[in-house]
Amino acid sequence: MLEHILIPLDGSTLAERVLPHAIALAEACHSRLSLLHVVYRDAHDDQFETVNPVEWQMRKSEAEAYLKSVQSRLSEVNLDCKIHILEGKPAQQIVTFAHNEDANLIVMSSHGSGGISEWNINSTVQKVLLRAVMPIMIVRAYQEAHEGLRGLTYKRLLMPLDGSKRAEISLPLAKSLCAVHKSTIFLTHIVEEPKIPSQTPLRDQDKALIENLNNLNIEEAQKYLNEIEEQLPNNDVKIIIETSEKPTLSLHNIIDREKIDLVLLSAHGSSGDNRWPYGKIALNFIAFGTTPIIIVQDLCKEEVQKTLAEKYAEESKGH
């Protein structure tokens, strides 16, 4: 399932906050690890046509020494990994490497060498998310870091489900994590309250119709989540069903209330459109979530429609 985990690092301690998470996942899924550092030109370099070759070689040597030091720290806790150094634009090289080397998951910190900003993720993470079209984990760099490389466990997992097979794509990973971490998994379904457009107060029969439909949806959701629970034997499962006019807000509130330490989310649910790599709930958690999250991609790269910007960029390269 997660045979190969890719860990991009930029040399900062913020980026290294992913290491305990990557190790926890690797131990649960028996994954191999790859450490990647991309040497690139910064804004100052772009003012010149060439870069001093001696300085460039020094950068590459420093990058190699850094990755070897991380590799050594991992070997001290009995974890093997390979190191890779590439040149170019970081996001582009990360995506290309992930696909060429058949990575099953990219684990990234929300922020790196540029420091914590007011944005929930930095530009490199955003670019990788939009272009990789594969499972990605985001670790929030502004949250308290786990002490030590080993020992991190996920005790309270949230898996939002909407009744679709697409949303269930994270279920195999949930099973693996629960088996190793002895996690409590919160199977969650938000029933969106039906609305009747009206500029006048609703009639009694309209209110009764809404209530009956809500009760039916809750009943069906309970049956559905009970079936999912049966696929998670020997684990502590809690089912949460709520009705809300704002399902995404309800999910955030549940995460805070239940002190969730990992969210497992499909990139799309029942209403997801293949034109875009993420549905509205996944996009919301990327932009505003504060908990470590694994977004499992239910599409392959070829299924996602290219944006006009991508098409234009490809045409421009051809001239």
Provide the sign of the torsion angle of the four alpha carbons 80, 235, 298, 247, taken in this order: negative
CB 124 within 8 A of CB 33: no
For the residues of 5-61, what is the DSSP string, one character each? EEEE--S-TTGGGGHHHHHHHHHHHT-EEEEEEEE---TTGGGSSS--HHHHHHHHH
Q: Beta-carbon neighbour count of residue 204 at 10 Å?
A: 8
* C-alpha–C-alpha distance, residues 231 and 13, integer Å: 39
Digitized pLDDT (tens) for each residue of the chain, 319 residues in all: 799 999 999 999 999 999 999 999 999 999 999 999 999 876 554 454 566 788 888 888 999 999 999 999 999 989 989 999 999 999 999 999 999 999 999 999 999 999 999 999 999 999 999 999 999 999 999 998 898 999 999 999 999 999 999 999 999 999 999 989 999 999 999 998 877 777 778 888 888 888 899 999 999 999 999 999 998 877 799 999 999 989 999 999 999 999 999 999 999 998 878 889 999 999 999 999 999 999 999 998 888 888 888 888 888 776 5
Handedness of CA 36, 305, 165, 280 (dihedral sign): positive
SS3 200: coil
Task: Give Cα 208 distance to the centre of its chain.
Answer: 40
Q: What residue ranges define each of the domains in the chain, with the CATH number in brackets?
A: 1-152 (3.40.50.620), 153-319 (3.40.50.620)
Alpha-carbon distance 259 to 226, whole Å? 23
